[in-house]
Structures are given as C-alpha cells and as structure tokens.
C-alpha cells in the first residue's frame, strides 16, 4: 500500500468516526496503537475535523462576542497542535530517509512530505462535507448539482495529490530529492516573541 493510500484510509476512518457524534467535545479514542504513524495520522485528521467545525461556529453572525473569543482561543490552540503534529510526522519521514544517499543533482521540494499529508487530510474533510451537501435532500436542486460538480473536482484533486505525494516520497527514497525539516516557529503563540504578550509582563 502506498503512503497516500494508507493516509487516505486512516483519514476517511477518522472523519467517519468523528461524525458519528459530530461534536467538537466528543471523547477522542484512536483504534490504532500508540506511537505508530497510523495513530498520528488518525489524530491529525481528528484535530482537523474538530477545527473544521470550530471554524464553522465562529462564523455564525449571531455569535456572542465572549463565546467568539473563547472559540478563537480554542482555534489558536488547535492550530498549534496541528502544526506540532505535522512536524512529528515529518520527523517520521526524516528518520526513515536520513541515511539515503542523495544524488549530486538532487533538488529540494517546496514543502515537506508531512505538509502535503496535511493538505490530504483537509481534502478528505472537504470531500466528506461536499458529499453531504450534494446529498442534502432538503436543499434546492441547483445547490445539489453545483455541489456535485465541486465534489467531482475535489475527487480529481484527491487522485492528483495522492500521486504527487507518492512521487515525492519515491524521489526522496531514491535520492532524487532531499528533505529538510524546518520548524514553523509560530511567533504569535510564543510569549517571548509576541510583543502583545511580552510587553504585558
């Protein structure tokens, strides 16, 4: 099984299980053993699913400002958790490929493997929700038709992104490309780097 196929399978499972309750505070429970790449992928999509619905909620025009602020804080934490997990997945790839003999004419990719996997996770969620809209019985026929057209594009994108991920990993494994892991260094979450935080000390 290719890595993109593995990821897609785990992401679809996580998305399905999340939507059994469809609640951002549903208890998290992974079917995979701890400290495996599958457990990290499952958690990755779960975080994305929760954040998807938090982002929906905060866009409610009638939301109470106090509730909106609390949601914004939660989204900020979710973004940091997501970034930390992507970096952990990149460490998995780095560990696997660190001893590869890099070819003299090897090139670097614009993004690391795990950030491509991050896009795959979001894409699986887009497909789930667009499918729900295309199937929504009470929606107007034109709405459902337009959503089906968008769904067709998303499914095409899934094929292309999966192929690109597997090609990237194949190139890294064969030494045609090399990877570097750069920490995101998000400054606004760091009390030592964000002036709005350190000037309040």
Per-residue confidence (pLDDT) for residue 185, from 0 to 100: 67
Q: Please state the φ and ψ torsions of residue 185, each to the nearest 5 degrees.
A: 55, 50
Number of domains in the chain: 1
- Which residue carries 């995101």 as its tokens? 184
pLDDT of residue 184: 67
Taking Cα atoms as reference points, which of 44, 46, 37 lies closest to residue 93?
Answer: 37
Per-residue pLDDT of the chain (201 residues; tens, 9 = 90+): 999 999 999 999 999 999 999 999 999 999 999 999 999 999 999 999 999 999 999 999 999 999 999 999 999 999 999 999 999 999 999 999 999 999 999 999 989 999 999 999 999 999 999 999 999 999 999 999 999 999 999 999 999 999 999 999 999 999 999 998 777 666 776 777 777 667 766
Q: Please name which of 77, 79, 14, 7 lies closest in space to residue 49, comparing C-alpha atoms.
A: 14
Domain with 77 in it: 3-198
Give the sign of the dihedral formed by CA 6, CA 7, CA 10, CA 11: negative
22 vs 49: CA distance, rounded Å: 9
């Amino acid at each position: 099984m290719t890595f993109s196929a593995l990821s897609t399978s785990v992401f679809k499972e996580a998305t399905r299980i999340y939507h059994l309750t469809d609640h951002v505070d549903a208890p998290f429970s992974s079917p995979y053993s701890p400290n495996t790449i599958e457990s990290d992928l499952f958690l990755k999509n779960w975080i994305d699913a929760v954040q998807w619905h938090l982002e929906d909620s905060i866009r409610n025009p009638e939301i109470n400002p106090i509730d909106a602020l609390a949601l914004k804080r939660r989204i900020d934490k979710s973004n940091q958790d997501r970034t930390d997990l992507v970096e952990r997945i990149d460490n998995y790839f780095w560990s696997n490929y660190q001893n590869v003999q890099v070819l003299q004419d090897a090139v670097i990719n614009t993004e690391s493997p795990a950030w491509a996997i991050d896009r795959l996770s979001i894409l699986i969620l887009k497909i789930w929700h667009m499918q729900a809209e295309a199937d929504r019985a009470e929606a107007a026929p034109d709405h459902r038709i337009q959503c089906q057209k968008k769904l067709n594009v998303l499914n095409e994108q899934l094929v292309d992104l999966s192929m690109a991920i597997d090609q990237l990993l194949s190139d890294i494994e064969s030494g045609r490309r090399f990877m570097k892991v750069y920490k995101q260094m998000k400054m606004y979450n760091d009390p030592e780097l964000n002036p709005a935080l350190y000037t309040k000390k």
